[in-house]
């Protein structure tokens, strides 16, 4: 009987493993709400994505957690608001050591833990150093561009021995470009970006006319190999387009009535179709959830090289709807009801908890940062009670909040990139705004004077936002061993005196303190006491290696001290901690406690 039960258990496990669903996320760069036929585009033809919508479900209130790319991508992969994982905006090469810290848990890590094969193809933009690359964030392999296609080569880039150099480039010309660059400036190699495989550059500069097709080729090959190996798979296909500069292959050049921007979108649509065809060809179409969406709204400052968010207001970089509400289509034959539409609020942060629920893979019990996203399986599959799990949604940098149909926003009347160059109105005042998004999807009528009590309620909600790098607490008794900042060694303009270290408004101002990692070292919880009148950014280095950026929220004033928590790794015995200011405005550092996280 015991043998029979064991065999039955093993068979159940094997069958369950064989039926684990596959996941494909197609994440486009700067695609607008109205850039697809099924979302209202008239000059741009997208038959394959439109067919996806007919065979699946269109989401009309789907949001990303930031109006710019790095932060949006961090939120997608971790399920958390971006500032909680230390990603405030956009990363650039050659501007210090910045990226999504590998200690944060990603979709790829979740799925890989259960035997999935994982691929990141296309644009990454969460750090270009090896420790930040996809291969250190749960992906088996990476094929693509480490950041936006309008950037530069990274000076510390590793080039493969057989790297293909184009446009007369070589190791010598690249080194010369960096040598000739003025201090603090990028080399004169703008728009020349590397094509990487895993952690090495294999082509420089990338022939950007070919990238949309090539990352589709890579994804199709990966699907084929995964099926051959009888492994479930996760494909994260992040198209570098239609971010500018725009590039398109000869097969699509001049073909769209929407100009070169339309050419680019139509090529993306065609290659999306190729990926969908590959799923059918290899017999996994009915066991694969495919999600097609964008990282933020269209870059309107680029004019006819940017997309459209109509009927939404504004675009990329803005906390108006056009900046963060993006087109989204999901397809899973036999699971998602065909030709349906969901108008409930859903977000890219929902992918991690939803994939966990659908695949049956539990999130780690000791996961320190629980996702801000929700399991939206019911919204995807069309359950009997299709209601959003969100009572509140917070916009970029907490500049706005949505609760039900109401949205409160505070900021400039026009976003920084709201108009083509030279067309921005000179008068751009700060405004506090209240919109009813069901009655006024275009945010044309500010009704804050008619409903001050609703605005007051929403303002109070912003104070409760989890979209901070650190949650603030009242300062209190030591939690572990306490270290006083004024006892450390200051440099770069920092000053020690009284009960804190000040002078941290000077860029590069630093303080070094020696701490004890104990006999075994390991992970420690740091409770940091400080005060600042505005947001502050402090790099934390441990033994000369940067561990994290402390993006410290305002405490409400220089005399108001609060405490925040962060985890760090220490080696056994003595460790040198260096705190270095990265932002003008400054912070007064009071103390920190260290407690071993056993």
What letters, b where the CB count within 10 A reaches 16 and e where it falls short, cover 355-389? bbbbbebebeeeeebebbbbbbbbbbbeeeeeebb
Residue 516 domain flag: yes
- What is the spatial distance between Cα 143 and Cα 201, in angstroms, rounded to a whole number? 10
* CATH number reported for the structural domain that contains residue 350 in this entry: 3.40.720.10
Structural domain that includes position 591: 473-596
Residue 81 domain flag: yes
The end-to-end CA distance of the chain, in Å, is 42
Same structural domain, 410 and 331: no
Same structural domain, 374 and 503: no
Q: Which helix (H) or strand (E) holds 501?
A: strand 500-502
Total structural domains within the chain = 3
Pairing of strands 22-28, 233-238: parallel
- What is the spatial distance between Cα 589 and Cα 490, in angstroms, rounded to a whole number? 12
| CB 324, CB 64: distance < 8 Å | yes
Same structural domain, 46 and 142: yes
Length of the chain: 598
As beta bridge partners, residue 412 has 430
Residue 523 domain flag: yes
Same structural domain, 119 and 153: yes
- Quick one: pLDDT at residue 467? 85
As beta bridge partners, residue 24 has 235, 290
Catalytic: 69?
yes
Same structural domain, 138 and 209: yes
pLDDT at position 15 over 70: no
Helical spans, DSSP H, in 259-376: 259-281, 321-324, 351-359
Contacts of 285 (CB under 8 A, 6+ apart): 276, 279, 333
Helical spans, DSSP H, in 68-199: 69-78, 107-112, 171-180
The region of weakest confidence among 115-129, 378-392, 536-550 is 536-550
Q: What is the mean pLDDT of residues 191-215?
A: 98
pLDDT at position 67 over 50: yes
Mean pLDDT score of the chain = 92
Residue 224 domain flag: yes
What's the pTM value of the predicted model, to 2 decimals? Answer: 0.87
Dump pLDDT digits (tens) for 221-267. 999 999 999 999 999 999 999 999 999 999 999 999 999 999 999 99
Same structural domain, 293 and 416: no
Given the residues 98, 104, 125, 500, select the one marked as catalytic.
125
Cα separations (Å) of 533 from 538, 546, 578, 587?
15, 25, 22, 8
Query: What radius of gyration do the chain's Cα atoms show?
Result: 25
Same structural domain, 133 and 165: yes
Same structural domain, 496 and 562: yes
Omega before 311 within 30 of 0, i.e. cis: yes
Residue 471, SS3 per DSSP: coil
pLDDT at position 23 over 70: yes
* CATH number reported for the structural domain that contains residue 555 in this entry: 2.60.120.260
Catalytic: 201?
no
- What is the spatial distance between Cα 532 and Cα 563, in angstroms, rounded to a whole number? 11
Domain boundary among 439, 462, 485: 462
Cα separations (Å) of 256 from 50, 241, 571?
16, 16, 58
Given the residues 69, 201, 328, 532, select the one marked as catalytic.
69
Residue 439 domain flag: yes
Residue 2 domain flag: no
Same structural domain, 283 and 307: yes
* CATH number reported for the structural domain that contains residue 412 in this entry: 3.30.1120.10
Residue 310 domain flag: yes
pLDDT band at 498 (very low <50, low <70, confident <90, very high): low
Same structural domain, 264 and 233: yes
Same structural domain, 424 and 492: no
Residue 294 domain flag: yes
Same structural domain, 230 and 293: yes
């Amino acid at each position: 009987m015991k043998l029979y039960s064991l065999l039955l258990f093993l068979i159940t496990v094997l069958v369950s493993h064989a039926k684990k669903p596959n996941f494909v996320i197609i994440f486009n760069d700067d695609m607008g709400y109205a850039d697809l036929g099924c979302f209202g585009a008239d000059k741009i033809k997208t038959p394959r994505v439109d067919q996806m919508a007919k065979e699946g479900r269109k989401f009309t209130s789907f949001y990303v957690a930031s109006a710019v790319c790095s932060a949006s991508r961090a939120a997608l992969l971790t399920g958390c608001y971006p500032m909680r994982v230390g990603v405030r905006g956009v990363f650039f090469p050659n501007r210090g050591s910045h990226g999504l810290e590998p200690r944060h848990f990603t979709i790829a890590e979740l799925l890989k833990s259960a035997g999935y094969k994982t691929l990141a193809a296309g644009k990454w933009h969460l750090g270009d150093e090896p420790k930040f690359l996809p291969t250190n964030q749960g992906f088996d392999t990476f094929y693509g561009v480490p950041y936006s296609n309008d950037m530069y080569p990274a000076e510390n880039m590793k080039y493969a021995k057989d790297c293909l150099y184009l446009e007369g480039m070589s190791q010598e010309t690249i080194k010369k470009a960096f040598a000739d660059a003025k201090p603090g400036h990028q080399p004169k190699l703008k728009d020349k970006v590397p094509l990487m495989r895993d952690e090495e550059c294999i082509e420089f500069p990338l022939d950007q006319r070919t990238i949309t097709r090539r990352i589709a080729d890579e994804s199709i090959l990966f699907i084929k190999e995964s099926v051959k190996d009888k492994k479930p798979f996760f494909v994260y296909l992040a198209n570098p387009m239609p971010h500018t500069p725009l590039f398109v292959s000869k097969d699509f050049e001049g073909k769209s009535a929407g100009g070169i921007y339309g050419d680019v979108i139509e090529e993306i649509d065609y290659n999306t179709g190729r990926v969908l065809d590959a799923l059918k060809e290899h017999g996994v179409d009915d066991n694969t959830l495919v999600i097609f969406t964008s990282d933020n709204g269209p870059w309107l400052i680029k004019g006819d090289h940017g997309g459209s968010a109509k009927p939404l207001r504004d675009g990329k970089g803005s906390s108006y709807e056009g900046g963060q509400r993006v087109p989204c289509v999901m397809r899973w034959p036999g699971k998602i009801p065909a030709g349906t539409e969901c108008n409930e609020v859903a977000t890219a942060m929902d992918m991690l908890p939803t994939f966990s629920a659908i695949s049956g893979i539990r999130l780690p019990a000791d996961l320190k940062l629980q996702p801000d996203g929700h399991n939206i399986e019911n919204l995807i599959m069309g359950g009997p009670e299709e209601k959003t799990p969100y009572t509140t949604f917070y916009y970029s940098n907490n500049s706005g909040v949505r609760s039900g149909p109401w949205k409160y926003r505070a900021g400039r009347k026009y976003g920084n990139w709201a108009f083509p160059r030279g067309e921005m109105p000179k008068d751009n005042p700060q405004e506090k705004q209240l919109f009813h998004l069901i009655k006024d999807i275009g945010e044309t009528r500010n009704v804050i004077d008619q409903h001050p009590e609703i605005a007051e309620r929403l303002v109070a909600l912003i104070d409760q936002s989890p979209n901070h790098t650190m949650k603030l607490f009242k300062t209190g008794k030591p939690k572990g061993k306490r270290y006083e900042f004024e006892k450390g060694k200051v440099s770069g303009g920092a000053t020690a005196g009284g009960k804190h270290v000040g002078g941290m408004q000077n860029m590069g101002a630093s303080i070094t303190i020696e701490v004890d990692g104990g006999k075994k070292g390991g992970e420690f919880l740091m409770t940091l006491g400080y005060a600042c009148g505005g947001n502050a950014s402090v790099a934390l280095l441990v033994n000369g290696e940067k561990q994290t950026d402390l993006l410290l929220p305002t405490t409400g004033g220089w005399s108001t001290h609060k405490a925040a928590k962060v985890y760090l790794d220490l080696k056994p015995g003595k460790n040198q901690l260096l705190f270095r200011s990265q932002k003008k405005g400054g912070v007064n550092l009071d103390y920190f406690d260290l407690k071993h996280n056993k």
